[in-house]
Amino acid sequence: MTLAPLLALALHAAAPDPRLALLAAMEQEGARSMQRLRIAGYEAPFFLSYQLKDLRHEEVGGRFGAVVDDLTRHDRRVHADVRVGSYDLDSSSRDDVSMFLGPEGQTWSAPRDAPLDDDPQALRNALWLVTDEKYKEALSSYFKKKSKGVYRADDPDRAPSLTREPPQRHVDPVRPFDFDRARWRAEVRRLSGLFRGHPDVFDASVKVTGEKQVRWFTSSEGSALVTEETVYAVHVQAVARAVDGQLLENSRDFYARAEAALPPPDRLEREVRALVLELEALRTAPVVDPYTGPAILAPEATGVLFHEAVGHRLEGERQDDDKEGQTFKGQVGKAILPAFLSVLDDPTQQAEGEVALNGAYAYDDQGVPAQRTVLVEDGVLRTFLLSRRPVKPFTRSNGHGRSQGAMPPIARMGNLVLRSKKQVPMTELKRLLLEEARRQGKPYALVIQDITGGNTNTMSYGYQAFKGTPRLVYRVDVATGKQELVRGVELVGTPLSSVSRVLATGDEVRAFNGYCGAESGYVPVSTVAPAALVSEIELQRVARANERSPILPAPWSERPTASAEAR
């Protein structure tokens, strides 16, 4: 493994890039391990890759006009993937027990922390320890895997262990990372102070964050990458209680790739005031009964539905894991959605209109270029989200191996996009909603706005179901068309049943940014989707704790008494 001429020249330039010195150190330690790391009588590694991630995090948070958090964090983490065997059968394993307990007989684990100083030798020392540990783990795992062949006949349908991918060499330019701390401290005070005028909101916070991640990647196949990403965010959250004691939460989240692209002060103020008005309206809104019937999902809600119900079930590793429900295993080439719908995942898409997408990246965490991947075409399943772990009949990664920090990558979503060939304006979508409700004999239908969060069970134990919490739900009277805000329900359902009931979509799409948590950690993701009319959606009553609001009013909501003024 040697540096490409371009990188070698850069290292000897008048102002060498310190990132390249670290990249060279990773290649050198990787080459040393591939040449000399072995135990007599046992296999040597056939594949090795290193990943180093440098994360800088800035954060300012406040409550009710005062700063309560002012944080700066800088850390570096290393991950080593060491494999013995061959591309066809290697030592990789998804043994969840050993992942938490460590290999049998191991009493010490190599730290995953890397030096913050740009010291190549110190970095090599960290890699040396992790590599040694991972090699021993790989040998143990490989012999356990081979031993199963004593009792089991070889499965002719077994996929290989690792895809073969061409090496990649790329270095991003250095990206600026600005964080105007004085500005954001003042803005957090101003925005969080707006809640002082609303005593029914008993807790509220405003948080501004900036993150920059620099990632180095090298492999024994010849890949050498340096990539940089920045993400800025403003998070507003508020909590109140309804008159009957139900806890009510509302939020706004804004993401941008540059600090200057965050919303301006006047828009942030409008959003805070709108959030408060929604909470105050929810306090006295009627509780809706559990419901099964037609509904319109706003674009954000549609995106969350397809992310939870479809996207997670198309992640490649889930197809060959017996612990998984394997919802779509064996379904390639078969219809799984209405024929007018297509689903793709495109990490190469940087923005949707003026909205920068969180899930955009150039190379995944296994050094494979990001690829636009059509998952479902005209309702028919075409492929899965694929990392370097093959899933038959597919033998190549499509650049979706992702992870947080030093966790092992698996196939994950990036930018999940829903396309429709059956689009109508929103006015027509609402007309169709009422028409469907009449056909079903329903007195009302629902319009569901943004879903604040969702989760799904993909495992084989338990039920194959998902759940989401709508931010706002409106009940639409079939006779009059009047809309009324309601509360007290959450979206539930089984994935295939829910997505198969889409009748039509709106003609405008919107993007939803966030972070998604799964086995390989939290990764930034986006969905791009239109509003969707579904013939049947199920909402169940939320678990309600009838607790009292704070007994005394907030201090700033009371005028000082005469005696207090005199003092």
pLDDT tens for the chain, residues 1 to 567 = 445 554 554 444 446 899 999 999 999 999 999 999 999 999 999 999 999 999 999 999 999 999 999 999 999 999 999 999 999 999 997 654 344 445 555 678 999 999 999 999 999 999 999 999 999 999 999 998 888 765 565 666 778 999 999 999 999 999 999 999 999 999 999 999 999 999 999 999 999 999 999 999 999 999 999 999 999 999 999 999 998 888 999 999 999 999 999 999 999 999 999 999 999 999 999 998 899 999 999 999 999 889 988 999 999 998 887 665 577 888 899 999 999 999 999 999 999 999 999 999 999 999 999 999 999 999 999 999 999 999 989 999 999 999 999 899 999 999 999 999 999 999 999 999 999 999 999 999 999 987 776 555 444 444 456 677 888 999 999 999 999 999 988 888 776 778 899 999 999 999 999 999 988 999 999 999 999 999 999 888 876 666 777 888 888 877 665 555 545
Q: Are residues 99 and 132 in the same domain?
A: yes
- E strands in 378-501: 380-381, 401-402, 410-411, 415-420, 423-424, 444-448, 451-456, 466-470, 473-477, 483-486, 489-493
DSSP per position, 503-545: EEEEEEEEEEEEEEEETTEEEEEEEEEEEEEEEEEEEEEPP--
- 20 close to 224: Cβ distance less than 8 angstroms: no
Examine residue 237 and state whether it is found in any structural domain, yes or no: yes
Examine residue 150 and state whether it is found in any structural domain, yes or no: no
- Number of structural domains, the chain? 3
Q: Are residues 333 and 447 in the same domain?
A: yes
Domain boundary residue among 232, 249, 279?
279
Q: Are residues 263 and 300 in the same domain?
A: no
Q: Are residues 338 and 470 in the same domain?
A: yes
Domain membership of residue 316 as a residue range: 291-541
Q: Are residues 257 and 297 in the same domain?
A: no
- Give me the sign of the Cα torsion angle 473, 474, 477, 478: negative
Examine residue 436 and state whether it is found in any structural domain, yes or no: yes
Give, as one character, the DSSP assignment of residue 458.
Answer: -
The torsion region of residue 450 among left (phi > 0), alpha (psi -120 to 50) and beta comes to: beta
Comparing CA positions, the residue from 171, 141, 101, 129 lying closest to residue 37 is 129
Examine residue 176 and state whether it is found in any structural domain, yes or no: no
pLDDT confidence of residue 236: 97
Indicate the angle between helix axes 181-193 and 265-284, nearest 10 degrees.
30
Q: Are residues 360 and 480 in the same domain?
A: yes
Examine residue 392 and state whether it is found in any structural domain, yes or no: yes
Residue with tokens 């209405």: 338
Comparing CA positions, the residue from 97, 139, 47, 31 lying closest to residue 366 is 47
If you count them, how many residues does the chain have?
567
3-state helix, strand, coil in the chain (%, to 5): 25, 35, 35
The torsion region of residue 319 among left (phi > 0), alpha (psi -120 to 50) and beta comes to: alpha
Residue-wise over 88-122: b if at least 16 C-beta within 10 A, else e? Answer: ebbbbbeeeebeeeeeeeeeeebebebeeeebbee
Comparing CA positions, the residue from 431, 457, 401, 417 lying closest to residue 533 is 431
Q: Could you tell me the CATH number of the domain that includes residue 225? A: 3.30.2290.10
Q: Are residues 193 and 129 in the same domain?
A: no
Strand, helix or coil at 118? coil
Domain boundary residue among 279, 309, 327?
279
Examine residue 219 and state whether it is found in any structural domain, yes or no: yes
Q: Are residues 260 and 405 in the same domain?
A: no
Examine residue 171 and state whether it is found in any structural domain, yes or no: no
> What is the rounded distance in angstroms from the CA atom of residue 557 to the CA atom of residue 185?
24
pLDDT confidence of residue 555: 87
478 Cβ contact partners less than 8 Å away, ≥ 6 residues apart: 434, 437, 438, 442, 443, 444, 445
Q: Are residues 529 and 416 in the same domain?
A: yes
Examine residue 549 and state whether it is found in any structural domain, yes or no: no
Q: What is the CA radius of gyration of the chain?
A: 26
Domain boundary residue among 137, 165, 193?
165
pTM: 0.90
Q: Are residues 425 and 516 in the same domain?
A: yes
Q: Are residues 18 and 115 in the same domain?
A: yes
Q: Are residues 115 and 186 in the same domain?
A: no
> What is the rounded distance in angstroms from the CA atom of residue 84 to the CA atom of residue 222?
18
166 Cβ contact partners less than 8 Å away, ≥ 6 residues apart: none
